[in-house]
């Protein structure tokens, strides 16, 4: 424990956390397959990840091991850790800095039969006040001379939300995800993906620590706090289109766009372009730009007019109206290890992203001397690092 804890705020956000990695990894499993019926390559990745921005630091290791058997099955496992120390704006204005650890284990089995590929994955994560479990099943099939791949997947998650310092508090959240993927080779240099995913949540969906503020003329600072309260259901849909083009020289250009909406009134979209350029056979450089924008939830407000002024109340900045820009760069270096007979090759990778967040209706309460609601809007920048080594065998 680096800091004395008074009241805790979950830095990663309760929203969608239970399914996040289960969905990601199971879908990565499907995505890994690539076009044409082949199992993913045997590999081991050892990664150090770090997020630093807005007073929040999260870092830790992630290890992924994958091995195929008899060209039919491929099993994989991932161990992932978040080491968190938070003095984010929520924490410094309504709670105390704290440190936390989250451990996550995922296992999966892929099966290939002809041009049909199936993946089953289970994920479990644990931290002091949150447990999440999720199961994911996906199947995809190649058609039309392997130019077209259609996949569907389903995920179900069971979360338990607890509150540190309150042994009587325990709530459940259930999550389901339905996804359809279409991948199409357009030309010998151009491939396109279409994805649609619907997610439904039911249960305790807000943060047991987070507060909303309301106008209070009896308070010396002009406002007071009360617990946030979210609806107990949420349904969202997201549609994405992605394309990748092989340039006339050896390099690739990627572009993607996603549109999102949900029953809480959030509408968002993001777009990204990336360029991958091999300098030599062993050295690959990559650069990207990403833009994300969203409108706030219907029940979000930076300052409510009075206590319990509406049924549902939120002041989570992830539910506010805001946008962010991301620029990123990466380098990969491939090397051979002839002295280790069973290894085909290795790869060193470093990727760094710089994210710039700008909020429209989430005010910076650290600034004093302003009337309630007149504070300047909050903004912050963060650095995201992924450094990893991969071994192929």
* Region 198-227 residues binding another protein, contact defined as CB under 8 A: 198-199
Q: Which of 83, 107, 109, 147 is close enough to bind another protein by CB under 8 A?
A: 147
- Under the binding rule (CB under 8 A), the answer on residue 254 touching another protein is yes
Neighbours of 194 (CB within 10 A): 15
- C-alpha to C-alpha distance for 333 and 179, rounded to whole angstroms: 34
The residue among 140, 181, 180 whose CA lies nearest residue 37 is 140
Quote the Cα angle for 371-376-381, to 5°.
150
The nearer residue to another protein, 24 or 222, going by C-beta atoms, is 24
- Taking CB under 8 A as the criterion, which residues in 270-289 touch another protein? 270, 276, 278, 284
- C-alpha to C-alpha distance for 7 and 96, rounded to whole angstroms: 6
The nearer residue to another protein, 205 or 223, going by C-beta atoms, is 205
Q: 20 to each of 15, 16, 34, 276, 358, how far by Cα in Å?
A: 9, 6, 22, 27, 24
- Taking CB under 8 A as the criterion, which residues in 304-333 touch another protein? 318-319, 324, 332
Q: Which of 202, 216, 226, 256 is close enough to bind another protein by CB under 8 A?
A: 256
- Under the binding rule (CB under 8 A), the answer on residue 391 touching another protein is no
The nearer residue to another protein, 316 or 375, going by C-beta atoms, is 316
The nearer residue to another protein, 92 or 182, going by C-beta atoms, is 182
Where does this chain touch another protein (CB under 8 A) — which range of 60-68, 212-220, 223-231, 335-343? Answer: 60-68
Q: How far is the CB of 216 from another protein (least distance, A)?
A: 28
The nearer residue to another protein, 229 or 244, going by C-beta atoms, is 244
Buried/exposed 251-274: b ≥16 CB within 10 Å, e otherwise: ebebebebebbbebebebbbebeb
The residue among 36, 23, 239 whose CA lies nearest residue 149 is 36
The nearer residue to another protein, 111 or 269, going by C-beta atoms, is 269
Q: 349 to each of 83, 118, 224, 232, how far by Cα in Å?
A: 21, 29, 48, 42
Q: How far is the CB of 371 from another protein (least distance, A)?
A: 28
In eight-state DSSP terms, residue 198 is E
- Under the binding rule (CB under 8 A), the answer on residue 132 touching another protein is no
- Taking CB under 8 A as the criterion, which residues in 28-57 touch another protein? 28, 30-38, 40, 45, 47, 49, 51
Strand-pairing partners, residue 268, are 260, 294
Where does this chain touch another protein (CB under 8 A) — which range of 129-137, 160-168, 189-197, 209-217? Answer: 189-197
Q: How many helices (H) and strands (E) does the chain have?
A: 2, 18
The nearer residue to another protein, 32 or 301, going by C-beta atoms, is 32
- C-alpha to C-alpha distance for 222 and 208, rounded to whole angstroms: 24
Q: How far is the CB of 59 from another protein (least distance, A)?
A: 11
- C-alpha to C-alpha distance for 113 and 34, rounded to whole angstroms: 15
Q: How far is the CB of 226 from another protein (least distance, A)?
A: 22
Q: How far is the CB of 254 from another protein (least distance, A)?
A: 7
Q: Which of 141, 163, 242, 360 is close enough to bind another protein by CB under 8 A?
A: 242
């Amino acid at each position: 424990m680096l800091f004395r804890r008074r009241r805790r705020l979950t830095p990663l956000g309760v929203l969608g956390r239970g399914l996040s990695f289960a969905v990601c990894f199971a879908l990565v499993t499907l995505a890994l397959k690539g076009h044409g019926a082949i199992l993913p390559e045997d590999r081991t990745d050892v990664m150090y990840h770090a997020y630093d921005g807005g007073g929040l630091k999260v870092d830790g290791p992630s290890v992924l091991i994958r091995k195929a058997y008899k060209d039919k099955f491929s099993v994989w496992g991932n161990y992932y850790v978040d080491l968190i120390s938070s003095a984010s704006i929520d924490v410094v204005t309504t709670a105390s800095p704290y440190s936390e650890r989250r451990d996550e284990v995922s296992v999966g089995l892929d099966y290939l039969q002809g041009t049909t590929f199936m993946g089953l994955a289970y994920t479990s994560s644990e931290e002091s006040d949150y447990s999440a479990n999720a199961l994911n099943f996906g199947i995809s099939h190649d058609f039309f001379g392997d130019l077209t791949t259609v996949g569907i997947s389903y995920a179900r998650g069971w979360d338990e939300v607890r509150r540190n310092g309150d042994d009587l508090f325990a709530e459940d959240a259930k999550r389901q995800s339905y996804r359809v993927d279409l991948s199409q080779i357009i030309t010998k240099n151009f491939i396109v993906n279409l994805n649609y995913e619907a997610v439904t949540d039911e249960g305790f969906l807000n943060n047991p620590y987070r507060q909303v503020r309301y106008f209070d003329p009896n308070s010396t600072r002009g406002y007071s706090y009360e617990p946030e309260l979210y609806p107990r259901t949420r349904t969202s849909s997201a549609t994405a289109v992605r394309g990748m083009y092989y340039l006339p020289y050896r390099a690739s250009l990627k572009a993607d766009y996603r549109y999102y909406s949900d029953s809480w009134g959030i509408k968002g979209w993001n777009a990204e372009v990336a360029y991958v350029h091999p300098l030599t056979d062993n050295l690959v450089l990559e650069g990207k730009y990403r833009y994300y924008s969203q409108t706030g939830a219907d029940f979000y407000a930076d300052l409510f007019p009075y206590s319990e002024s509406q049924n549902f109340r939120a002041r989570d900045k992830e539910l506010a109206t805001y946008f962010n820009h991301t620029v990123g760069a990466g380098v990969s270096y491939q090397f051979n290890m002839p002295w280790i007979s069973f290894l085909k090759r290795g790869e060193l990778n470093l990727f760094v992203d710089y994210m710039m967040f700008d909020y429209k209706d989430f005010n910076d309460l650290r600034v004093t001397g302003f009337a309630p609601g007149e504070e300047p809007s909050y903004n912050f920048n963060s650095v995201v690092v992924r450094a990893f080594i991969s071994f192929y065998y």
